[in-house]
């Protein structure tokens, strides 16, 4: 699943236009992003309150077992990196 600061309507349009198959959640209030440390909080930054590119693996109890927060939102992890992390976090 993905989380974005965009509105639900914007995410629905994005999902349809780009044929996204996974769930996208809207966090326009930026509460979840802030709680997970994935929000730019430096008031001097030109991207203050923007969401950071972040990856999390949670277990069935909701405990974060792995995370990677990118400082540059253009830095994407390769699918192999995420799949390896998923494999490494299995009991």
- Rounded distance, CA 12 to CA 36, Å? 24
Decide if 85 contacts 69 (C-beta within 8 A). Answer: no
Decide if 31 contacts 53 (C-beta within 8 A). Answer: no
pLDDT one-digit tens code per residue, 39-58:
999 999 999 999 999 999 99
pLDDT classification of 78: cutoffs 50, 70, 90: very high
Structural domains of the chain in order of their starting residue, each with its CATH number: 2-89 (3.40.30.10)
Biggest alpha carbon–alpha carbon distance for the chain: 42
């Amino acid at each position: 699943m993905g989380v974005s600061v965009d509105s639900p309507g914007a995410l629905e349009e994005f999902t349809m236009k780009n044929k996204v198959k996974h769930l996208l959640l809207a966090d326009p209030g930026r509460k979840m992003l802030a709680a997970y440390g994935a929000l730019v909080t430096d008031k001097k930054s030109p991207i203050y309150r923007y969401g950071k590119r972040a990856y999390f693996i949670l277990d069935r109890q909701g405990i974060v077992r792995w995370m990677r927060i990118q400082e540059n939102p253009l830095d994407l992890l390769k699918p192999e990196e995420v799949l390896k992390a998923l494999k490494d976090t299995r009991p």
